[in-house]
A and B are shown apart, each in its own frame.
Chain A
């Protein structure tokens, strides 16, 4: 189980994250939503160990993988990109096929479109094993079909490995289709927490109501 207590991140006088408690069960898929600057990426980066919190306690599983918001195409073809750091080639080929990229496997990664590159980044993550996947807006550059492939791949990976998945998103569709649970951040604090359908259909606070009303499904 992931256990977060009194987690804070401050930049000077500005508090960007302030979470009292957050418990995430093993094997759970958690979607984290919120407006720009609400602390979603900061939370993910702290959990990934990319930045240090100002304060708080964290209990995390051993091996974690983190997919940043900005996808990067390394030199070389798609296979080389996925197997970077000695991931299994056979697995890479299967993942490229699963995410609709097999016809581009021998092309240079730098020639991919934004959505294709994002799916390639996910392949790079899913070609490895971990106890915790941290995905920063994994479908932000994808079209509807691409987003569907991403959701299927994440769910299948979770089914096979029983790992926990935490992903940030601006997409209610992703939260509804992929997540077991949705939290909404507002100025670094958790404003809503629960199953996606309940959070989206029965918002408990006025702020949550107005935020969800602005979210286009």
Chain B
């Protein structure tokens, strides 16, 4: 109960640091989810609707990458962006931008894998019908995405959930720097390490609250899409 009181106390007092952490968390999750979906949904639709040589291998690779451990993704991006790495000159390490890059690496395979499986299982009659009236490939992919948009919202939510709850990759490449790259999950980890369990729990409750609000919004969109 103490944690609940503390969580709502922190929220209503508009604690400056907490608001900054929430801001960074939402900014990072928004961009990593958006970029992953912009890359992953069209690719998923293409893989789901097309037959080509090597498709089976590609699907296996994507399914493997869906289970990529966040710390491995973080380490990989760290090596790329460290001072001596190939992208070291960009000076992006320990910034929100590189946290987004690490999360895109982590989330894009999930979006591709889920959307291609979904589209593959539901798109056959759509493709047959659309091809039958002479529609082009681009239009068919758009139709498949549009027809399955209620389910695709769930995939986007899944990606957002993965992003907002992720801790391994962002702590490696972001460094959990106060007022700069600290997000909800890394803050919870820090407070737990400091033994401030009730504060950490309060942060956890706020994180859940954010996830609930996003889900409620998405459920509304799904309901509207189904009624369309």
Contact = CB atoms under 8 A, between A and B. Distances in A.
Interface of A: 48-50, 63, 65-68, 70-72, 74-76, 84-85, 87, 121, 124-125, 128, 134
23 contacts: A48-B131, A48-B132, A49-B131, A50-B131, A50-B132, A66-B128, A67-B129, A67-B132, A68-B125, A68-B128, A68-B129, A68-B132, A71-B125, A71-B129, A72-B125, A72-B129, A74-B147, A84-B133, A85-B130, A85-B133, A87-B133, A125-B132, A125-B133
B2 interface: no
B129 A121 contact: yes
Interface in B120-140: 125-126, 128-135, 139
A66 B125 CA distance: 12
B146 interface: yes
B135 A65 contact: no
A68 B126 CA distance: 10
Contacts of B126: 72, 74
B132 A70 contact: no
Given A75-B228, A76-B228, A85-B139, A66 B146 contact: no
B143 interface: yes
A108 B125 CA distance: 18
Contacts of B129: 67-68, 71-72, 74, 121, 124
Given A75-B147, A85-B139, 11 more contacts: A65-B134, A66-B133, A67-B132, A68-B129, A68-B132, A71-B125, A72-B126, A76-B228, A85-B134, A121-B129, A124-B129
A23 B13 CA distance: 83
Contacts of A87: 133
A88 to B, nearest CB: 13
Contacts of A74: 126, 129, 143, 147
Contact of B132 (A63, A65, A76): A65
B155 to A, nearest CB: 18
B52 to A, nearest CB: 13
Given A75-B147, A75-B228, A63 B133 contact: no
Q: Which of B132, B146, B228 has the most CB of A within 10 A?
A: B132
A177 to B, nearest CB: 24
Given A85-B134, A128-B133, A50 B228 contact: no
Contacts of A125: 132-133
Nearest to B149: A75
Given A74-B143, A75-B228, A76-B228, A124 B133 contact: yes
A76 B131 CA distance: 19
A70 B128 contact: yes
Contacts of A50: 128, 131-132
Contacts of A72: 125-126, 128-129
A208 B18 CA distance: 81
Given A75-B228, A76-B228, A66 B147 contact: no
Interface in B91-124: none
A128 B134 contact: yes
Interface in B129-172: 129-135, 139, 143, 146-147
Contacts of B133: 65-66, 84-85, 87, 124-125, 128
B228 A66 contact: no
B138 to A, nearest CB: 12
A76 B226 CA distance: 11
A63 B131 contact: no
Contacts of A67: 129, 132
A51 B205 CA distance: 54
B132 A75 contact: no
A165 B154 CA distance: 43
Nearest to A67: B132
Residue of A49, A67, A75 with most chain B CB atoms under a 10 A cut-off: A75
Contacts of B143: 74
Contacts of B130: 84-85
